[in-house]
Amino acid sequence: MPVGAGALDARGVHQFGEDDTQGLASDLHNIGQVSISTQFGVDRTRMTAIETRATVLETQRTCRRRTTGTLASSGSYAALTLSTAVVGSKFTHATGVFTCQEAGTYLITFSASFAANATGLRGLRLLGSAALGERATPLATGVSASVVTSMTVTWLVVLAVNDTITTQGIQNSGSALTVLGEIMLERIV
């Protein structure tokens, strides 16, 4: 039996209609009742707010990736230049240097894997502009001829407009090594 606006059925039981804000059968039975279409509207508003927030969060992320590259064997830190694919607009990039375009607190994660080689040491560093300092991994000395050396450095840092972050690596295997790297700079505040 289709139910329009709330009504009593043949047995005298109140059937709620979609446009009922509160049924008529008893105040106790109907406390807190809202119509289905009203609840759908409320739920849709909540979902829109969640989707909007997710979009805002996604645009706050800047990510650059490097599929492959090489790092010379020097025993000194050198810039690790990542590819030019950028998501977002919070940073500009040139030869391993990221320049902040919007002040805020950022979580920076820099990861790299060095090709397998049993000689020397490996390390990563995020070098900030003058007042920021640096964050580095401990130097890996137990490297292997059959397993890549992977490491990650993270930094929670407050950046001003035009502060810079440089991605650097170090290795002294005796020859250039292939490196696969990724950096994510995510504004969290």
Which tens digits make up the pLDDT trace of 93-119?
887 888 999 999 999 999 999 999 999
How many Å apart are CA 178 and CA 140, to the nearest integer? 16
Strand partners, 185: 62, 108
User: In terms of pLDDT, which residue wins out, 58 or 6?
Assistant: 6
How many Å apart are CA 173 and CA 16, to the nearest integer? 77
Least confident span in 4-13, 54-63, 73-82: 54-63
Overall average pLDDT of the 60-72 stretch? 72
pLDDT of residue 69: 80
Structure tokens at 41: 């509207």
pLDDT of residue 128: 96
CA torsion sign for 128, 130, 132, 137 is positive
Do the beta carbons of residue 18 and residue 36 sit within 8 Å? yes
